[in-house]
Amino acid sequence: MQQPRENEVSVLRYGHRPGRDDRMTTHVGLTARALGADQIIFPDNATQPAETVTDIVSRFGGPFDVQRTDTLNAIIREWSGTVVHLTMYGERVQDVTKKIRERCLHDHPLLIVIGGEKVPSDVYEWADWNVAVTNQPHSEVAGLAVFLDRLFMGKELEQEWADAEHVVIPQACGKRVVDAE
């Protein structure tokens, strides 16, 4: 895996149970892409989610990188920037996001770790920040979405998608998807 760029935002899905977690792991990747991350790093056994997210990138645009690895722990331990672990046991998102933003969006790559099953205590130790959205149990996809929106202060919602085959046309009712020009 290549070294991250200085202000790159990456999401690492920690753990995946094939069959059981396919939909949730896919949604972690789609949420990371749609809300401003630069890449998703899936566990090596998350074949179907990686294929689905790669297909979405090819059809609806990027840039967004999809990686698979069997060295999740090494990536976290050796990350050259800041590691944020999203967990219901962490510090409140509203108390720490500004500090994380000031540090990471200018000159440090950011790795956001999202658990898929029981996360070992080592991950809590390796993280620079353990961050919670509400300190209550809920979906890791919801936690990632809230964190990314707060990190980027809503600017990710204006993102332009390069090399898209299809473009969704916003409208009040119905669906409209057109071929990109």
Tell me if 83 is assigned to a ligand binding site. no
Asked if the peptide bond before residue 63 counts as cis, ω within 30 degrees of 0, the response is yes
**114's torsion region: left (phi>0), alpha (psi -120 to 50) or beta?**
beta
Residue 176: both structure tokens together: 């409209």
Q: Which residues pair with 166 in a beta bridge?
A: 179
Tell me if 6 is assigned to a ligand binding site. no
List, in order, residues 6 or more apart from 112 with CB less than 8 Å away: 9, 10, 11, 12, 32, 37, 84, 85, 86, 144, 147, 148
Tell me if 62 is assigned to a ligand binding site. no
Tell me if 116 is assigned to a ligand binding site. yes
CA–CA dist 29, 40 (Å, integer) = 6
Annotated binding site for S-adenosyl-L-methionine: 86, 115-119
List residues forming the annotated binding site.
86, 115-119
